[in-house]
Structure 1
Amino acid sequence: MGYTQNNSWLVLALLLCWQPLMAQQRAGFVLVPKGIYEVSKNANTQRPLRKVAVDSFRIAACETTNRQFAAFVAATGYVTDAERMHNALVFQPGLEEFRWLGDSTACWRYPNGSSRGGIRDRMEHPVTCISYHDVQAYCNWAKVRLPTLDEWEIACRAGTRTNYFFGDNDKAIQSYANIWHGHDHKKADTTDGYMYTSPVGHFKPNPWGLYDMYGNVFEFCTGKISTAEKPAVAHSRGGSWWCSKNACHAFNSYNIGTVHIRASFSNQGFRVVKKG
């Protein structure tokens, strides 16, 4: 699974992790009761509107942070796909829409590439530049799992049936999510105080107390959209700091993104689930 030793980072991770642990632990987990829930929406080309039955589960109130991932690496010596394959994709203002830069130095420690700084002052930001494969390794170590596609949507909607848990008008998104507010990605946008990720839990939660369900980072989920999908495909939901009203617009309750299980992006992260 790509484990090795890196003494300098083990020491740094241990120093960083002695502090009061993790925004995710501070915020805890939210119980979603067993029941039958409606998911998707009419005219959704990805999945039909339907009712699904789920057992109770507990979903993390916040996305998994750099501090949490550092604890995992300190305990195991795990080496991520981006560190081994040098294939992470990052963003800088000025690129055409939906264009990303390949940066061989980018990884979870330097999520926008080494020239743009590391995570020393961003330990409570969501971990990024990790692949679906890396996330599975973390979950096995932490004895947690990813939400399914349906579980994520149920938790995100928090009992609502609108496009957003706050209604159908996306103008209120700025109170709940770190997204890109610029007309395009030609110029840097720090309208909400952040160009890239923001600390988890910085914006308002949904009605069930879950933070950053929209924006900040796309969140990996388990499951497939169709039986015809290839094994190397993974899915994520919720949109990211890169998503804007004019491009992507995936910061809603119904969209599902697709990514290769070994791909690593600077806007891709995850949150975890425990048994209810």
Structure 2
Amino acid sequence: MRGAATRADLRPIPAQTFTMGSDDHYPEEAPACPVRVDAFSIGAHQVTNTEYAAFVDATGYRTVAERPLDPADFPGAPPENLVPGSMVFTGSAGPVDLRHLNLWWTWTPGASWRHPHGPRSGLDELGDHPVVHVAFEDAEAYAAWAGLVLPTEAEWEAAARGGIVGAAYTWGDEPEPAGARLANFWHGDFPWRAETGYGSTAPAGSFPANPYGLFDMAGNVWEWTADWYVARREGDPAASPCCVPSNPQGPAMEASLDPQQPQFRVPRKVVKGGSFLCADSYCRRYRPAARRPQMIDTGMSHIGFRCAQRSTA
């Protein structure tokens, strides 16, 4: 049965009204406001390499990072540069200026979900790790094959909060106590020195589940959602002052284009949850309210997904 492992992994999330977003952290998380979601189910784990391989074996699907590039899309580019690939995290040799992401991200020809660190790498001993280097359509294609969907931002956040009202983290209001292992985020000096057991993806489910029985809703890899991204959610129906919105689905696609980066005409989806690269000194986004934009045609070595099911799906 297609997607059987992923469907068996679903956990029920009750219908609820909760406070979505945060006014206390990053600007894009505001405004905090009440939102209602109907009951649904969501994967207890992020989709793994083994599960994604089953999809590819069954369908012959090729991800965006594996497809040949069309010269028409890159006028004037030398043919030798038109090689598919993806963005790979490459830790620096020492302290760097954290304003410049290019100091720890490298466009790597040949990198893909099969070759997560570049063309000479593979998936040996990574079968139970979350699949990465998947663009939005790659995640959506898997979900459709499994008879599921990608969660909306509101569904994802309700699930991540685990019924803990108003909490900053999936486990409660306080940061991770010293010596505890509650989530796979960066422990150490970012981006060059991680403590043992951190600094890369971990097998799905390596850290404690939240109260709904969901693993890695904080850290490990960012997760695609179905919603288009806007920098502040006033443009989202979730920000309506007249009533509590029900099952909001974010703005229209056109709103997700970044006016600050007109050269990038690729719309962006919301990713949630943070990753193994979230460091307290740089990116404390391993929280339910945290959100970032991701261009839909770009996979990276810290972005994956999990699937959901609605009663109408």
Alignment TM class, shorter chain as reference: 0.7 to 0.9
Which residue of 2 is the match for residue 236 of structure 1?
271
Larger CA Rg, structure 1 vs 2: 2
CA contact (8 A) 2:170 2:218 kept: no
CA contact (8 A) 1:132 1:262 kept: yes
The equivalences for 1:140-219 within 5 A come to 140-160=144-164, 161-172=166-177, 174-187=180-193, 189-191=194-196, 193-219=197-223
1:108 equivalenced with 2:113 (yes/no) = yes
1:261 equivalenced with 2:258 (yes/no) = no
Which residue of 2 is the match for residue 248 of structure 1?
283
1:212-253 deviation per Cα after TM superposition (whole angstroms, max 9, x unaligned):
001100011111334432372111011101111112221011
Alignment-mate amino acid for residue 86 of structure 2: A
CA contact (8 A) 2:187 2:199 kept: no
1:56 equivalenced with 2:39 (yes/no) = yes
In the alignment, the residues of structure 2 paired with residue 87 and residue 172 of structure 1 have an alpha-carbon distance, to the nearest angstrom, of 39
TM-score of the aligned structures, taking structure 1 as reference length: 0.85
Alignment-mate amino acid for residue 273 of structure 1: A
Which residue of 2 is the match for residue 128 of structure 1?
132
1:130-166 deviation per Cα after TM superposition (whole angstroms, max 9, x unaligned):
1011111111111111111011110111112121132
CA contact (8 A) 1:176 1:212 kept: no
1:175 is paired with a residue whose SS is coil
Which of 202, 221, 241 is the equivalent residue of 2:225?
221
Which residue of 2 is the match for residue 71 of structure 1?
54
CA RMSD of aligned residues (A): 2.1
2:269 is paired with a residue whose SS is strand
TM-score of the aligned structures, taking structure 2 as reference length: 0.75
Unaligned runs of 5+ in 1: 1-20
Unaligned runs of 5+ in 2: 70-83, 236-250, 258-265
1:37 equivalenced with 2:43 (yes/no) = no
Offset of residue 171 of structure 1: 2.5
CA contact (8 A) 2:109 2:119 kept: no
CA contact (8 A) 2:65 2:112 kept: yes
Using the aligned pairs only, state the percent identity. 33
CA contact (8 A) 1:105 1:113 kept: yes
In the alignment, the residues of structure 2 paired with residue 55 and residue 78 of structure 1 have an alpha-carbon distance, to the nearest angstrom, of 32
In the alignment, the residues of structure 2 paired with residue 42 and residue 233 of structure 1 have an alpha-carbon distance, to the nearest angstrom, of 23
In the alignment, the residues of structure 2 paired with residue 190 and residue 67 of structure 1 have an alpha-carbon distance, to the nearest angstrom, of 27
Aligned residues: 252
In the alignment, the residues of structure 1 paired with residue 177 and residue 156 of structure 2 have an alpha-carbon distance, to the nearest angstrom, of 21
In the alignment, the residues of structure 2 paired with residue 37 and residue 50 of structure 1 have an alpha-carbon distance, to the nearest angstrom, of 8
Which residue of 2 is the match for residue 13 of structure 1?
none
1:106 is paired with a residue whose SS is coil
